[in-house]
Amino acid sequence: MSAEAGRPPWTVTLVCGASGVGKSRLAVPLAVRYGVPLAEPDEDRIVANYAAREPQWPEQRNRARVSVLIGARFAGHAREAGMPVVETRPWLDVLDRVDGALRAWRR
């Protein structure tokens, strides 16, 4: 552990979130740069994700609501631990926002 920084010389990154928030889409580029918990608080977006991935099933509003609640709990625990949490959207700049959050957090 670095005496001056008070932190170990390594970083562990946890990427978590409820189903449909985009963990898979972000995993490869995020692994290249860093990692940070993501939270998708929009129940309608999750319902749309399920509909796109599983068109054979009826609308899954309750499942989406559970996903939002789980995501909020993950985000709350991360914040309590002093870790940054980055919203998933807009997707166009999420990798840069995650990168910025981690750089600021590590200072």
Say how many domains are in the chain: 1
Amino acid at 68: V
Give per-residue pLDDT as tens, 12-44: 556 666 666 666 666 557 666 655 555 667 788
> Would you say the pTM of this structure is higher than 0.95?
no
Q: Does residue 6 sit within a domain?
A: no
Give per-residue pLDDT as tens, 50-71: 898 899 999 888 888 888 888 8
- From the list 26, 27, 21, the residue with the least C-alpha distance to 42 is 21
Length reported for the chain:
107
Q: Does residue 17 sit within a domain?
A: no
Q: How far, in Å, CA of 41 to CA of 83, rounded?
A: 18
Q: Does residue 11 sit within a domain?
A: no
Residue-number span of the structural domain to which 42 is assigned: 23-106
Q: Does residue 62 sit within a domain?
A: yes
Amino acid at 19: S
When mean pLDDT is compared across 60-64, 82-86, 88-92, the lowest value belongs to: 88-92
Cα angle: 22, vertex 27, 28; to 5 degrees: 135
Q: Does residue 18 sit within a domain?
A: no
Q: Does residue 5 sit within a domain?
A: no
Q: Bridge partners of 86?
A: 38
Q: Does residue 66 sit within a domain?
A: yes
Q: Does residue 88 sit within a domain?
A: yes
